[in-house]
Amino acid sequence: MTPCALTVDSLNPKVLALADHLGDNAIARRAQCIQNEIEAEPESHPFREIIDCSLSNPQSMGQRPNKFFREVLALCDYPHLLEQSGTNSLFSSGAIARAREILDLFPGRATGGYSHSQGTEGLRDIIAAGIAARDNFPCNADDIFLTDGAAPPVPYFLDESRGWGVSMSDLKKQLDSARSMGVFVRGLVVINPGNPTGHVLVEENQREIVDFCRNEDLVLLADEVYQENIYADEKGFHSFKKIARSMGYGEGDISLVSFHSVSNGYYGECGRRGGYMEVTGFNSDVKKQVYKVVSLSSCSNISGQILMSLVMNPPQVGDESYASYQAERDGVLSSFARCAEAMVRSFNGLEGVTCSEAEGAVFVFPSVRLPKKAVAAAEASNTQPDAFYALRLLETTGIVVVPGSVFGQMHGTWHFRCTVLPHEEKKTMTVIISSFVAFHRAFMEEFRD
């Protein structure tokens, strides 16, 4: 017996209505279950390990943290080191200099106190300067709100659009349809570089989106957390703020929020929970309300705040740490690019599979034309066809991907999202691709119409 103080019936119905995280818990739960079975009985499945290609979680896949970032964090945790001569032989002088600069931003060097609710003022100055240098347009430190990653602030808003190139006519149709049903649409979320697609928007498309939001009185919520991860040579990152400002639109012309985090760049510090939102073009009454909501839950964690400042102000040309920092960065990004290329090539060689070139972020998002028999089998087991395919993949190979139905996709099309993270040194990528190819061939054979 358990006490009846709370039952599911007495919970807030909105809690019950929440979808499971990403909707893919069935696959994640099954993967966890298989993992446990393998640990108990190594021969229990046709493979020896689960290979997680579902989550952007690079350090858990074996990627090493960036050395400069971690040196600075350690010195800020234990500033006593800065007064010891032995420290010079254990830490790079660039990291020592940076840690001193950062600690001096905290009165009494106290990194263990609550900061301003928006984040430590000096760190916001550094981040604002980094944004201004990136965009070549001014950035005000008062517009920066430091957060525990990019996840917490989003749930206040309603509408979103994801995808490869964004079609303005589709967008307009969806907006009008929502409004005709009485939905008060407040904003548009655009993820660039794209998740789940790995696509990087072209500037012309970004300008169309900015004008669309202006004309329709929508807040443009720009999820720009993959801004450092672009590996297509001809593409670059252009923030929506830079695009809007270069169109001549100022504070008074468009309401814009840009999100970034320390989780999603090539350095992948997911567990450190640092992020910011840059809030521009809101009237002061609305901004006061944003501040009020933010200040309800203390400041974000200081390690995450420091890390965010390092991301936006990494070692520069001329700094002692620049060469090694840049080598680490290029190493990671070129590894992503090689993985992505190998995956795209292999997927495109498979019957019924097409996969766009990956340009950024850490994903590929191939489309699979599933045979009717497979769709019928999925329906018979009350599963989405792409989830059916992903579960079969898991049971056969141990590879975990996210079915496209989790993100929404054109009716009658099926996709899966696969990360390009697996560590090359471990040869995991080769293993993944060869098991995938064998699985897909057998699957198509089994369900061929």
Paired residues of 146 in beta bridges: 276
Taking the complex as a whole, the smallest distance from the CB of residue 411 to its own copies amounts, in Å, to 27
Q: Nearer Cβ to its own copies, position 350 or 429?
A: 429
- Among residues 202, 286, 327, 442, which is the contact residue for its own copies, using CB under 8 A? 286
The one-character DSSP state at 154 is G
Residue 420 to residues 199, 222, 429, Cα–Cα distance (Å):
14, 23, 8
Q: Residue from 36, 44, 93, 298 that binds its own copies (CB under 8 A)?
A: 298
Q: Which of residues 304-343 bind its own copies (CB under 8 A)?
A: 304
User: What's the closest the beta carbon of residue 234 comes to its own copies, in angstroms?
Assistant: 31
Cis omega (within 30 of 0) for bond into 46: no
C-alpha gyration radius of the chain: 24
Q: Which of residues 229-258 bind its own copies (CB under 8 A)?
A: 251-255
DSSP letter, residue 404: G
- Residue 289 contacts its own copies per CB under 8 A: yes
C-alpha span between 86 and 67 (Å, rounded): 18
Cα angle 380, 384, 388 (rounded to 5 degrees) comes to 75
Strand runs labelled E in 34-154 = 51-52, 144-147
Question: What residues between 366 and 405 interact with its own copies by CB under 8 A?
Answer: none
Which of 7, 136, 169, 382 forms a contact with its own copies (CB under 8 A)?
A: 7
Nearest 5°: CA angle at 401, between 400 and 403?
135
Residue 303 found at the interface with its own copies (CB under 8 A): yes
Find the shortest distance in angstroms from Cβ 379 to its own copies: 27
User: Is 16 a residue that touches its own copies (CB under 8 A)?
Assistant: yes
Q: Under the criterion CB under 8 A, does residue 272 sit at the interface with its own copies?
A: yes
DSSP secondary structure of 213-255: HHHTT-EEEEE-TTTT-B--TT-----HHHHHHHTT--TTT--
Q: Among 43, 84, 382, 412, which residue interacts with its own copies (rule: CB under 8 A)?
A: 84
Q: Are 72 and 95 in contact (CB under 8 A)?
A: yes
Task: Tell which positions 128-167 bind its own copies, by CB under 8 A.
Answer: 148-149, 151-152, 155-156
Query: Which region among 43-51, 136-144, 171-179, 288-296 touches its own copies (by CB under 8 A)?
Result: 288-296
Query: What part of residues 175-234 is at the interface with its own copies (CB under 8 A)?
Result: 184, 186-187, 213-214, 217-219
Q: Give min distance, CB of 133 to its own copies, in A.
A: 26
The whole-angstrom separation of Cα 120 and Cα 110 is 11
Task: Decide if residue 295 touches its own copies (CB under 8 A).
Answer: yes
Taking contact as CB under 8 A, which single stretch among the options 136-144, 171-179, 269-277, 396-404 is the one that binds its own copies? 269-277
| Lookup: tokens for 181 | 């049903």
Q: Is 203 helix (H, G, I), strand (E, B) or coil?
A: helix
Among 90, 168, 183, 410, binds its own copies (CB under 8 A): 90
Asked if 385 and 372 touch (Cβ cutoff 8 Å), the reply is: no
Rank residues 131 and 244 by Cβ distance to its own copies and give the closer one: 244
Name the minimum Å distance from CB 272 to its own copies: 6
Nearest Cα to Cα of residue 228 among 66, 425, 341, 95: 66
Cβ atoms of 54 and 26 closer than 8 Å: no
**Range in contact with its own copies (rule: CB under 8 A) among 114-122, 129-137, 170-178, 401-409:** 114-122
Residue 405 in tokens: 């139905």
Least Å distance, CB 185 to its own copies, is 10
Smallest gap from residue 197 Cβ to its own copies (A):
22
Kindly state whether residue 285 participates in binding its own copies, applying the rule CB under 8 A. Answer: yes
